[in-house]
Structure 1
Amino acid sequence: MVEYADADDFLASQTPEIRQLLSYVRQLVMVAHPKMKERFMYNNTLFFMCLDYVCYFGKIQKTKGVEIAFVKGFLLKDEAGVLESKGRKIIRGMTFQNLKDFQAREEAFLEVLQEAILLNETQPQKTFAKIMFERRKK
């Protein structure tokens, strides 16, 4: 596994098409809430946090695109039905092929993003760490 120094190094190493998509999404997420912060973890994953974890850049595959995963996806209503579980119990995500694909579904993404931020604001007791700990105890 390739290790990157920071988020900018990570983005710079991507193909131009993927870098364009990730940079665009990164900007949108960072302005979605005044308390939004980014955190580069595990030497290859960029997380976005607003009071708690919100989402992260998941798997990047040249042929399938990029998944943007919501860490508490199972708690989101997802009224538009755009989130995919891919067999996961907690995390849900949206996969985008490129920037054009993202822009075609940007409104749906922003709705999910705002719902995830609102969940963190209105239910601060449901932290990702607590959810994971409770799931592991079962």
Structure 2
Amino acid sequence: MVQYSDIDDFFENQTPEIRQVLQYVRHLLLIAHPKMRERFMYSSVPFFMCQDYVCYFGKIHKTKGVEICFVKGFMLSNEQGLLEDKGRKLIRGITVRNLQEFKAIEEPFLEIVQEAILINETQPDKTFAKIIFGTRKKK
């Protein structure tokens, strides 16, 4: 996994097309809620948090695009039909190749973000850490 010194280094090391998508989505996420904040973790992953984790930039591929992953994706309604599980139990994601493709789904994407924030606000006992460790204990 590539290591970056900070979020700026992360953006600088992306292709121009991917960087454009990432920066646009980042801006939308940071204004989605007054308490939304960004956290650069593991020297390679920007996470977005509002009381608890909401989403993060997942796999980035030069031709396949970027996946925006929702950490509590299994709790989301997916009424928009955009979220994919890709064999994962908890996380769901949306993959876009470029800014034009993202802008075509921007409104339903923002609905998903708001639903994820609402889950964090209305179910504070269901933190991502508790979900992860609860799942691991059951096995």
Whether TM-score is above 0.5 comes out as yes
Q: Which residue of 2 aligns with 1:107?
A: 107
Counterpart-to-counterpart distance in 1, 2:80 and 2:101: 17
**AA in 1 matched with 2:69:** A
Deviations 1:27-80 (A, max 9, x none): 000000000000001111000000000000000001110000000000011112
Counterpart-to-counterpart distance in 2, 1:42 and 1:76: 26
Q: Which residue of 1 aligns with 2:43?
A: 43
Deviations 1:72-105 (A, max 9, x none): 0000111121100000000000000100000001
Structure 2 residue matching 1:113: 3-state secondary structure: helix
TM-superposed deviation, 1:2: 2.1
Q: Which residue of 2 aligns with 1:130?
A: 130
Runs of 4+ in 1 over 3 A off after TM superposition: none
Q: Which residue of 2 aligns with 1:61?
A: 61
TM-score (norm 1): 0.98
Number of equivalent positions: 138
Q: Which residue of 1 aligns with 2:31?
A: 31
TM-score (norm 2): 0.98
Percent of aligned pairs with the same residue? 70
Structure 2 residue matching 1:40: 3-state secondary structure: strand
Q: CA RMSD in A?
A: 0.6
Counterpart-to-counterpart distance in 1, 2:89 and 2:65: 22
Counterpart-to-counterpart distance in 2, 1:29 and 1:79: 20
Counterpart-to-counterpart distance in 2, 1:68 and 1:8: 18
Contiguous gaps of at least 5 residues in structure 1:
none
